[in-house]
Structure 1
């Protein structure tokens, strides 16, 4: 950690919420985890979900190893001005997110639910048809 720590405000840190530019706040410290996105064992989605808020509880709830905690020093860029962190999370859409991507995500979830039933129904239809033909 650098002896002359830079202090960031929340609004500045929360702008870094993309795969190629990702900062997180943990235990009053700011980390630029962009270089770690591909290597994170939980995937980049976990780190992206930690943006735009104080992710201390998320980090602690997972139970990271001492090795993971030591690795954090590599990504430390400064501290957060705690008075600028909102009590509740503010959801901010990044530049590459919009209504249509959220809508398509919903459609994918619906299809993931419906496709197995459609396949099962097709199986029953084929079974009934072949049974009818054999009688």
Structure 2
């Protein structure tokens, strides 16, 4: 890496988004991976789909080896201006009522209180019809 590094905005990096000119942002650094597209084990589409955004999570999720990380130095072109990267929104799950075992038990009891008499009535009618026919 060495020397003076250049700083790019995300918009500038996003312009390099095709097979002939492909740049990625990983961990605040900008990489020109155009020459690596054909050799990438996951295929060029994986790299092309990561352009125009911070690809750090995509890179980390795969679990790249230390040798893959060392290869990145030869593709380094500069730093990203972090103020140009949109902040990630934290997922907040929807508020749900606390699970109450007693309410669930109440529901099951009420359901059985309704269904059991119907089943008994159905059996009684069925037996009566069956005995009349024979």
Which category describes the TM-score, using the shorter chain as reference length? 0.5 to 0.7
- The 1-side partners of 2:54 and 2:6 are apart by 17
> Structure 1 segments of 4 or more deviating over 4 A?
none
List runs of 5+ in structure 2 lacking aligned partners: 89-134
Report the counterpart of residue 80 of structure 1 in structure 2.
80
* TM-score for both structures, normalised by structure 2: 0.64
Q: Structure 1, residues 99-127: CA drift from partner, whole Å, max 9, x if none? A: xxxxxxxxxxxxxxxxxxxxxxxxxxxxx
Q: Which has the larger radius of gyration?
A: 2
Q: Structure 1, residues 47-97: CA drift from partner, whole Å, max 9, x if none? A: 001101000000000000000000000000000000011236xxxxxxxxx
Aligned residues: 88
Report the counterpart of residue 23 of structure 1 in structure 2.
23
- The 1-side partners of 2:27 and 2:52 are apart by 14
The equivalences for 1:1-135 within 5 A come to 1-87=1-87
Task: State the Cα RMSD in Å.
Answer: 0.9
